[in-house]
A and B are shown apart, each in its own frame.
Chain A
């Protein structure tokens, strides 16, 4: 007959579980990396918005109303997508791991449910806005660009859309799997 106290004593006397020489250093390294990543994220976000605004002014899009709307739709949807991702990452990190396991699980499930809503409602709207903006720009591209370059823009836009679509779909599937896993945990 196996005795629980004996199991407990063996459990507590396990070997090689003490902190190694470089463990503490690795923790501080991770913290440093984390702070760096946060800065990089902020920089990328800010940089993207600045580049988009600069491009808008550079092509003098505001002088032509179709171009204004078209470019605004394209850039706005792109900016919105980045903002949503930024906010989402922040929200996930804000779920403190120091709360009870029961509360933590519930908060994680809520987070993934909100993400699912974003994927099913907001993301398709964003993609549609981007496509609409691109379609509005097409006559302008045709008028101002050589036929070869115009064809290149059309084909590359389709390829980019397909690749991005596949990437987003993969991420959506993974998050849905995560949600299912969490909901199945007893």
Chain B
């Protein structure tokens, strides 16, 4: 393994779960689709690694790639609709009872999906616990604008979840 491959594998292992979580927010929690998107993100990370200048943190850089890749995917599949085939739903299929946590997550995905594109990206980064200054860097908007927006989106999201 050459130094570039080593660096890439390290970045891959350190960031896979974070990127996966972000992609889940774009595909309403569909694990296979999110996994596919995450792989696409890391293909782009590999292709752009030589362009990383260290002007922002590596995390910020990867999140930019992740959100832009999801945005590209959105362009291909908008609006995101879960594709269930009729034959997949059989009478024998008995869904397992969902825990409160699983239900809450499902509700979260649905509410995140209702947000506008920019608001969705911002709240996904906020949920990751990213500092607001870094969110502003990822999004390319002013720090103050992010701060006021986050407050509003949080209210919108919690209200949506509460109303079910």
Contact = CB atoms under 8 A, between A and B. Distances in A.
A103 to B, nearest CB: 5
Interface string B114-149: 001111010000111100000001111100000000
Contacts, number: 128
A43 interface: no
A7 B108 contact: yes
Interface in B72-98: 72, 74-75, 78
Interface in A99-158: 99-105, 108
B21 A27 contact: no
A24 B12 contact: yes
A100 B44 contact: no
A14 B74 CA distance: 23
A136 to B, nearest CB: 41
B67 interface: yes
A11 B126 CA distance: 11
Given A10-B101, A18-B16, A27 B39 contact: yes
Determine chain A's interface SS by DSSP, over half rule. Answer: helix
Contact of A27 (B43, B69, B121): B43
Given A11-B108, A101-B71, A186 B116 contact: yes
Chain B interface extent, by class: 35 or more
B162 A2 contact: yes
A166 to B, nearest CB: 21
Interface in B38-89: 38-40, 42-44, 46-48, 51-52, 61, 64-65, 67-69, 71-72, 74-75, 78
Given A10-B108, A19-B13, A102-B139, A97 B64 contact: yes
A101 B67 contact: yes
Contacts of A98: 44, 48, 51-52, 61, 64-65, 68
A8 interface: yes
Contacts of A3: 158
Q: Which of A3, A10, A18 has its CB near the most chain B CB atoms (within 10 A)?
A: A10
A52 B128 CA distance: 55
A97 B48 contact: yes
Interface stretch (A53-61, A62-70, A80-88, A177-185): A177-185
Nearest to A107: B68
A51 interface: no
A23 B140 CA distance: 31
A169 interface: no
B46 A182 contact: no
Given A14-B24, A27-B43, A101 B118 contact: yes
A4 B158 contact: yes
Nearest to A178: B75
Contacts of A165: none
17 contacts: A1-B158, A7-B127, A8-B129, A14-B105, A17-B17, A17-B21, A19-B13, A23-B35, A34-B43, A96-B48, A98-B52, A103-B140, A105-B71, A108-B72, A185-B116, A185-B118, A186-B119
